Structure 1
């Protein structure tokens, strides 16, 4: 079975509203299930690829602060 997980995740959330996307993210974090991590990773990849250099620096700063 040749399943492209990344494409499946993007397909599942394509066309979602901001509220639906937020619900998806919050649900994945609150559930804390390991199986949700790939989906969050794909969503982060989309954010990263569509962010300016300044936005990326801000995300990295937030991440660094959150990991201290």
Structure 2
């Protein structure tokens, strides 16, 4: 069986609106289910690949602060 998780996740969210994507992210976080983590990872990977250096710096700064608060 050949399973490409990235392709499957992309197929599931392809064409989703910003509201749909937000609902997916919120649902994944609120459910707390570990099985949702790969999907969030794929979404983050796509964001990262398309972000400019300024956006990446902003995200890294926010993540750094959030990790320190945990």
Q: Judge same fold: TM > 0.5, yes or no.
A: yes
- Count of residue pairs the alignment pairs up: 68
Scaled by the length of structure 1, what TM-score is found? 0.98
Scaled by the length of structure 2, what TM-score is found? 0.95
Identify unmatched segments of 5+ residues in structure 1.
none
The structure 1 segments of at least 4 consecutive aligned residues displaced by more than 2 Å after TM superposition are none
Identify unmatched segments of 5+ residues in structure 2.
none
CA shift digits 1:14-59 (9 cap, x unpaired): 1001100000000000000000000000000011011000000000
Structure with more contact order per residue of length (Cα contacts < 8 Å, sep ≥ 6): 1
Q: What is the CA RMSD across the aligned residues, in angstroms?
A: 0.4
